[in-house]
Amino acid sequence: MPKMIFVNLPVIDLPRSTAFYQAIGAKRDERFCDETASCMVLSDTIFVMLLTHEKFGQFTSKKITDAWKETEVLLCVSEESRAGVDATVEKALATGAKEPRGPQDFGFMYNRSFEDPDGHIWEIVWMDVEAAMAGGLEQIQS
């Protein structure tokens, strides 16, 4: 069985956040949803658990960060092409997301980002791995 990742995100307005993720292509898995949580399926191995602050707080004793003011994590998902990157970000923007910076194009790698309704930053990236290994990565590391 392949490893799966469950990204758990605290959200202020669960129905709004659920609708946002559905609008950008995620499917809601009703088996793991209730009034405190929505399980959003991005792929066979990537799931985003949208949790009310109360529910999220059951899993940590730490203060929940306001993602509009502080950043704890950058979430990155790959696409199969540059056009796929643009399509995903454009869907997000059409549903009210914000784009914190413009596209980054390194030739071998192209990415854009958006902030969801709660300020969580998602990086959407396409990369030509062979070109990256042939020296392209040095371009962004220096």
What is the distance between the alpha carbons of residues 99 and 119, in angstroms, rounded to a whole number?
10
Question: What pTM was computed for the model?
Answer: 0.86
The total of other beta-carbon atoms located within 10 Å of residue 132's CB is 17
CATH code of residue 4: 3.10.180.10
Boundary (domain end) residue, out of 12, 29, 62: 62
Number of helices (H), then strands (E), belonging to the chain: the values are 5, 8
* Edge-first strand listing for the sheet containing 121-127: 74-78, 121-127, 109-115, 104-105
Same domain, 54 and 87: no
- For residue 13, pLDDT beyond 90: yes
pLDDT band at 1 (very low <50, low <70, confident <90, very high): confident
Same domain, 55 and 75: no
Q: How many domains does the chain divide into?
A: 2
Same domain, 29 and 57: yes
Same domain, 13 and 45: yes
